[in-house]
Amino acid sequence: MSWSCGVPHGTLWKTASTPPTRPRAPTRAERFALSLSLGDWVRRDFVWDISTLVLVRTEDWHATWVSWRENGEWWGWYVNFQRPMIRIPTGIQTMDLMLDIVVAPDRRWRWKDEDEFEALVSQGIIDNDEACRVRREAADVIRQLDANLAPFNHPWHSWRPNPDWGLPHLPSGWDCLT
């Protein structure tokens, strides 16, 4: 099954952050690893700074984001490695595995957050089998990109959301995971 969702510039979203009850670790990788190990993060509000269309298939260990700057200029692709999405009573659940690939409009790509991925592996938050699975998925994505296969061969850069859709908002009960 394939899914897609739009996240327009200006969308309010929540992300995990270090709780005020303990010192903030010096690096982002250490902060994520510690928060995941302790399970004590707090959620903070942030504003999405770029318009994004998220393309994902339920069995994939990644989602491909197609993004545009506020002026409408195509930003490129962002490949977010994550656990496969599953439906839960309050929506969809996944876990960001921190490793990413950033792809410019000219198709040049680079790794992002390799240190954060390795921190989760070294802390045992991601086990070796899962880490190998993510690395294989990343190699497959790079092959798709190099071979100009979907979704990298579609004219996503010309897609635009209907401006009447407005900004999404979190429904009540969004934070209930049962």
Active site residues per annotation: 112
Give Cα 102 distance to the centre of its chain: 11
Burial class from Cβ neighbours inside 10 Å (0-12, 13-18, 19+) for residue 144 reads middle
Main-chain dihedrals φ then ψ at residue 156, nearest 5 degrees: -60, -30
C-alpha–C-alpha distance, residues 133 and 139, integer Å: 10
What are the b/e assignments for 160-169, b being 16+ CB within 10 Å? eeeeeeeeee
